[in-house]
Amino acid sequence: MHDFAARALHLLDPEDAHRASILGLKLGLGPTDHAPDDPILATTLAGIALPSPVGLAAGFDKNAEAPDAMLRAGFGFVECGTVTPLPQAGNPRPRLFRLSEDRAVINRMGFNNAGLDAFAANLAARRHKGVVGANIGANKDSDDRVGDYVTGLRRLWGRASYFTVNISSPNTPGLRALQTKAALEDLLGRLDEARRALKAEGGDCPVFLKVAPDLEDGEVETIVETVAAFGLQGIIVSNTTVSRPDTLRSAQRAETGGLSGPPLMSLSTQVLARFHAANSHGLTLIGAGGIATGADALAKIRAGAAAVQFYSAMVFEGPGMVVRVKRDLAARLRAEGFTSVAEAVGAR
C-alpha cells in the first residue's frame, strides 16, 4: 500500500511529492516493519550498535521532522540534514528532477532547510531510541563557512548519535573546494578543537566526512590521511556526481545538479574501493550512491563499507524497499558463506 502511494505521488511535481511524503510520515501514515531484523545484519558503526547496516541517507529529511518514522519503516539508522546554521531557501525551483527511464534523480536543491534551531527542536522532541545522525553544512552566503560547521557541531552536540560533515554537495558554489588539503586541514582542525572542548564537558560521538565521487588521482589518499590526522571516525563515500554517464536516457539528463540513483552505483563503489585500499588507519567507511537492492548493498560492503545508505531508490520503489533490501542482503550474506556483516567488509 505504501509503495503504491509512493508511485501515485509521481503525479505531483517531485518536490511537492517529497513534501507530501514528509507530512504523511509526521501524521503517522508511514510503513512499520514489525519483524525483528535478521541477527546476521546486526553490526556496529564506529562503536554504535546497529540492528542492520542499512541506513537512510541525508537529503530525505532535511529538518529532522520524521526520523522516528523512518526508523519504524525498518532503517537501521537515519541521517538527517543537511542543516545549516541559518534557515535558507536554497536554489530556485524547479530544482529536483526524476529521470524515470534511468530510475535516477538530479537535484540542485542548495541546502534548503529551516536552520539549526528548528532541527535541534525536532531532535529534542524525538520519542524513539534509534540511531539518528546530523549532516551539517554551511550557509551559501556565510563569511566563515568553516565556522558554520563548528556552529552546527556545537548546537547539536548531545542530540545526534553522530555527525556528518558535508563538504561534497555540488549545489553550493565553492563547497567542494573544502576537499582540498589546505582547506580540509583548516576545517577539520577547527572542528577537532571544538570537539575536544565539547568532550571535556562530557560525552563524545563519531564524526564522519562526506565526500564526492568526482575525485582526482591522489585526492583519496590525501583525504584519508587528513581525516585520520584530525581524529574523525570515518568517511561516507559518496555524495551525488556532476558527471553524466553515456547510458542516461531521460530527456532531463542534462539538468544541472547532482545525479543519484543506479547510474551512480558503479562510480561510487569504485571510489569506495579506492578509499578502502588507502585506509590503513582503521577508519570506518559508509557506502552510499546507487543502492537499490540487497546485491547493491553487499557490493558496497565487499568494497569496504561497514554500513550503507540510500534515498533516491525510494522515489521509484517506495519506502517498503528497505525491508526487501535487508532480507535480500541477509540471504546473500549467508549464501556467500558470511556469518556477519563485519566479516564481509572489504572481502571484495
Domains detected in the chain: 2-344 (3.20.20.70)
pTM for this entry: 0.97
**pLDDT exceeds cutoff 70 at 55:** yes
Which has the closest alpha carbon to 167: 184, 153, 150, 152?
184
Q: Which of 142, 168, 169, 238 is catalytic?
A: 169
Catalytic, 161? Answer no
- Give the Cβ contact number of residue 270 at 10 Å: 13
* C-alpha 346 chain-centroid distance: 20
Spatial neighbors of 52 by CB under 8 A, at least 6 apart, are 37, 38, 41, 42, 43, 74, 75, 76, 326, 329
Tell me the helix, strand and coil percentages in the chain, rounded to 5: 40, 15, 40
pLDDT confidence band for 1 (50 / 70 / 90) = low
The pLDDT of residue 10: 80
Tens digits of residue pLDDT in 280-305: 999 999 999 999 999 999 999 999 99
Tens digits of residue pLDDT in 104-141: 999 999 999 999 999 999 999 998 899 999 999 999 99
Nine-digit cell string for 4: 503504491
pLDDT confidence band for 319 (50 / 70 / 90) = confident
- Give the Cβ contact number of residue 21 at 10 Å: 25
